[in-house]
Chain A
Amino acid sequence: MSELTFTPVIGIEIHIRLKTDTKIFCSCSTNPESPANTNICPVCMGLPGSLPRLNHNVVEKGMLAGLALNCSVQPKSLFFRKSYFYPDLPKGHQISQCDLPVVADGYIEVHDADGNLKKIRVNHLHLEEDAASMHHSASDGRLEGAATSYVDYNRAGMPLGEIVSEPDISSAQEAVEYAMNLQRRVRYAGASDADLDKGMMRFDANVSLKCSDGRWGRKVEVKNMNSFRALERAIEFEIKRQKKILLSGGEVLQETRHWNDAKGVTSASRVKEFYRKFIVEPDLPPLIVNQEWIDRVTAMMPEMPDVRANRYVNDMGLPRDVAEVITDDKNLADYFESCVKAGANPVRAAHWVRTEVLRVLNERGQKIDAFTVKPEVLAGLVSRVDDRKLSTTQGKEVFDYMCANGAGLEDAVKALGITEGGVAGNALNDIIAAVIAANPDVLEEIKSGKDKKGKKLKFLQGLVMKETKGQAKPQEVAEAIAKALE
């Protein structure tokens, strides 16, 4: 009997916070920095008599996110009421598009185990409202058993897009690449900041195992992953756990499991899955998106990172890895392109951005939008180094000076006492004359022929180099001194 093999079958649901100034069904601010329970109104508090009204910017961001995932916009979609009781849910139901979403049928590419590109199908993205956030006094941070619980309704009604993949993912690595790629693309589209640290992107994974003997384990939903690392670990743990069960002839239960990041394990949810039912939200008419609106939003879509990276490789001659690093962040890629537009050589500019700009940003923990050296300035610097007006070392000194002092290019060069193009010709001769005049004894020695080993001549050359701050070519200095001594 051959050994049993198992193929993981994984689907991922990703919630992203759509980037709008106001909530999905009212005009309260979405500012995450506001003090607790200050961004609230009768609508997002679910007060009796209040009615939701759809924020069309949310629809637009949802469409942008969908287009970034190669989805198509659905001309008609609906909202439903998803019922369950919990203190974080002001109306006792969540308004969600559920299965009739605004965008559907897309895909994202990832690399499989052999390094080949593989499409992960995106079933749809639907719009919904977030629940309030809760803070429990219990030690394990959960509601049950907590002596006191606090609810912050600022988050209630924040706009979310839930992106549901088909079960096309076969490993934790593919899952992470899918999620990272998705994050990059929705950020590019301006649909979401997808900042994991701020809870703007959250993962649930459905994991089952297909056994080579024909058995197929039931689907287990794993919740509570808030980082790429957690997503990867949770899936790996779940694959191992289910494999063990199937190998021992056991049966995998269909259940919801909770990822405990500290312990690195999944455990069956203590709270029973809420009983959910859906009715059409009677307070919101069907969402109709006409072709004109679709065209307008489509026109807003920027070039996606993979397309951009290909262009950098094919049209600008960038190495693939450099192109991918630069296109990871749209603003960085925009910065790079501005450099090129301002006249910098693309390959050299890319090199500068990748090594120097990213180094400084990493050191400072900054993002490119906060970077003080403007792309046109960097382009000027790159060109001067390219034209050998500055040596590479000088270029880096100038760059660091600009970063540190917020100075312009000319000011930095001046402040560092750099003479562009080096010291040569008359300027060099003047320095030599001055050095000789200041050292008559050395001159005497050389002229008397005592400097057999040329030590004194070297000494003079050194003084001249020092005076030029190293900006003269040694060969030229030697020749000029020889000439001056004639």
Chain B
Amino acid sequence: MELYELNLNDVIEGLKAKRFSPSELYASCKQRIDTCEPNIHAFITRTDDTQPQTGNDGGIFAGVPTVLKDNLCTKGIRTTAASRILGDWKPPYDATAWKYLREAGAVLMGKVNMDEFAMGSTCGNSAFGPTHNPHDISRVPGGSSGGSAAAVSAGYVPFSLGSDTGGSIRQPASFCGVYGFKPTYGMVSRYGLISYGSSLDQIGPFARTVRDLQLVMSVLAQYDPMDSSCFREKNPDFTHREDVSLKGKRVALVKEFQDFTLDAPIAEAMTRTRKVLEDEGAIIAEVSLPVVARYAVACYYALAMSEAHTNLERYDGVRYGYTVTDAAGVKEMFERVRSYGFGSEVKSRIIAGTCLTEPSRCDEYYVAATKVRTLIAQEFARAFGETDYILQPVTPSLPHRIGEEDEDEMKVYETDLYTLPVNLAGLPGLSFFTGYAGNLPVGLQLIGPRWSDSGLLDAGVILERHLGSPKIANGGI
């Protein structure tokens, strides 16, 4: 077994026991990246050309390589959000989530690909070209955190960070056959995460075991005064325990989703997972989420685009990033910078957001969406009075081939129905591995009430025990 194949907990244990050195581990990961990267194209910026600088030799992640989605600010290291508009911008500060990891000793291998400003679900809307799925390089890795998922799936690094605004961690985790966790909104500081939809964005980890997710969460989930939406309670306990049980726990399926069609392997995974839960002593129930089923997609896009277009107003070429020096005036400068700097998906969302908040129709769309969002949160709160967890797919279909995106954009949006209500209600969601359909992994999703993150991961540990852990993808080799 090569060192790059080790899971996070095994890596830490091995380093601690001095079975191998940080530089041996580093070299192994680097070798793996060099081998697979031409096929996968996960990186936007590699930082593994020089010897690693470990932030803290005594930290729990001392010497552990990782990669970050390129919308997380890294001091002095190019951060692009996969957009031309940021140019070669090097932030003067670290995102809090990365600062915590760096202080724990993690070593940065690079910044990885994503859909521009996290807008997309294929990792194809990137100014740096698409990333490929390590299980089948003709297919998409999912998005927007496709690079983060692919890097862990292909064995580049034992864990990575992404962000999830409407499924951007859970969907690529599912497509790439790894575990991905979207924490409760407010659990992880967003300071230094380049905003898409501020009230929906949340940073979370990817790893190849649930136990590894727990370890990363124990470092990420700390109060940060720099983010006013960050929680102020005492840090939750993400300690891994083997003696957890689902006996007597209620796990519900969503009534309104039962009529929707799923790809056969996903439907089969639902059945298998349900059986595992029943065998573990869980009670399978049903909850009704009529408002979610009917309005969540429209509500989500109205809010996400309204927030996004104001978040993207700062990119004007005046202070940083791409700019022009020969514009005739400031208006022309803004126009040229933004016309060239933003990709088409970003532009269409800016236009949509501008229209949705335009004074004459703001009440009808943006304000209405904020009200619907409250109803959705209330509906989930009521549902979680009747059940402990909700089990549902991440997507209705397996990863499609690159370039075969659905022509009907509205349908692409609808495939997000399983993921984005979770963001609207600020809930934690775990995307977990259930097995393979041919060479493609199949993932599902377990959702809990707000702040149930550690319990949700405990449940994930049990599911992993029965369903098995994923193996490292062949990476196109």
Measured CB to CB, the residues of A under 8 A from B are: 42, 45-54, 81, 83, 85-87, 90-93, 143-145, 149, 151, 276-280, 282-285
Residues B199 and A282 in contact, CB atoms below 8 Å apart: yes
Residues A283 and B73 in contact, CB atoms below 8 Å apart: no
Residues A85 and B313 in contact, CB atoms below 8 Å apart: yes
Q: Mark B341-361, 1 if CB is under 8 A from A, else 0.
A: 000000000000010011100
Q: Does B285 contact A (CB under 8 A)?
A: no
Instruction: Give the residue name and chain of the A residue nearest to B83 (CB).
Output: A48
Residues B313 and A92 in contact, CB atoms below 8 Å apart: yes
Residues B228 and A87 in contact, CB atoms below 8 Å apart: no
Contacts of B330 in A (CB 8 A): 86-87, 143, 149
Q: Compute how far the CA of A282 lies from the CA of B193 in the bound complex, rounded to whole angstroms.
A: 14
Residues B91 and A48 in contact, CB atoms below 8 Å apart: yes
Residues B359 and A48 in contact, CB atoms below 8 Å apart: no
Q: Does B93 contact A (CB under 8 A)?
A: yes
Residues A49 and B91 in contact, CB atoms below 8 Å apart: yes
Residues B307 and A279 in contact, CB atoms below 8 Å apart: yes
Interface centre among B195, B197, B358 (most CB of A within 10 A): B195
Q: Does B82 contact A (CB under 8 A)?
A: no
Residues B334 and A85 in contact, CB atoms below 8 Å apart: yes
Residues B195 and A49 in contact, CB atoms below 8 Å apart: yes
Q: Compute how far the CA of A91 lies from the CA of B81 in the bound complex, rounded to whole angstroms.
A: 17
Smallest CB–CB gap between A39 and chain B, Å? 15
Interface centre among A42, A92, A145 (most CB of B within 10 A): A92
Contacts of B354 in A (CB 8 A): 277
Residues A42 and B313 in contact, CB atoms below 8 Å apart: no
Q: Does B387 contact A (CB under 8 A)?
A: no
Smallest CB–CB gap between B453 and chain A, Å? 20
Q: Compute how far the CA of A278 lies from the CA of B330 in the bound complex, rounded to whole angstroms.
A: 23
Residues A83 and B310 in contact, CB atoms below 8 Å apart: yes
Residues B194 and A49 in contact, CB atoms below 8 Å apart: yes
Instruction: Give the residue name and chain of the B residue nearest to A54 (CB).
Output: B228
Known A85-B334, A92-B313; contact A42-B362, beta-carbon cutoff 8 A: no
Smallest CB–CB gap between B150 and chain A, Å? 23
Known A91-B313, A91-B314; contact A279-B228, beta-carbon cutoff 8 A: no
Residues A48 and B86 in contact, CB atoms below 8 Å apart: yes
Residues B314 and A283 in contact, CB atoms below 8 Å apart: no
Known A87-B330, A280-B370, A284-B228; contact A50-B310, beta-carbon cutoff 8 A: no
Contacts of B359 in A (CB 8 A): 276-277
Partner of A277, one of B89, B198, B226, B362: B362
Interface residues of B in 182-198 (CB under 8 A from A): 190-195, 197-198
Q: Does B225 contact A (CB under 8 A)?
A: yes
Smallest CB–CB gap between A268 and chain B, Å? 19
Contacts of A81 in B (CB 8 A): 310
Q: Does B153 contact A (CB under 8 A)?
A: no
Contacts of A149 in B (CB 8 A): 330
Contacts of A285 in B (CB 8 A): 228-229
Given contacts A83-B310, A282-B229, 20 further A-B contacts (CB under 8 A): A42-B92, A45-B319, A47-B91, A47-B319, A48-B194, A49-B191, A53-B225, A53-B227, A53-B228, A85-B334, A87-B330, A90-B314, A93-B310, A93-B313, A277-B357, A277-B358, A279-B366, A283-B228, A283-B229, A285-B229
Q: Compute how far the CA of A49 lies from the CA of B224 in the bound complex, rounded to whole angstroms.
A: 14
Q: Compute how far the CA of A90 lies from the CA of B197 in the bound complex, rounded to whole angstroms.
A: 19
Contacts of A52 in B (CB 8 A): 228
Smallest CB–CB gap between B342 and chain A, Å? 13
Residues A51 and B190 in contact, CB atoms below 8 Å apart: yes
Q: Compute how far the CA of A253 lies from the CA of B229 in the bound complex, rounded to whole angstroms.
A: 45
Interface residues of B in 276-311 (CB under 8 A from A): 306-307, 310
Instruction: Give the residue name and chain of the A residue nearest to B331 (CB).
Output: A85
Interface centre among A49, A50, A279, A285 (most CB of B within 10 A): A49
Residues B313 and A51 in contact, CB atoms below 8 Å apart: no
Partner of B320, one of A47, A145, A151: A47
Interface centre among A47, A53, A143, A278 (most CB of B within 10 A): A47
Q: Compute how far the CA of A145 lies from the CA of B354 in the bound complex, rounded to whole angstroms.
A: 29
Contacts of B320 in A (CB 8 A): 47-48
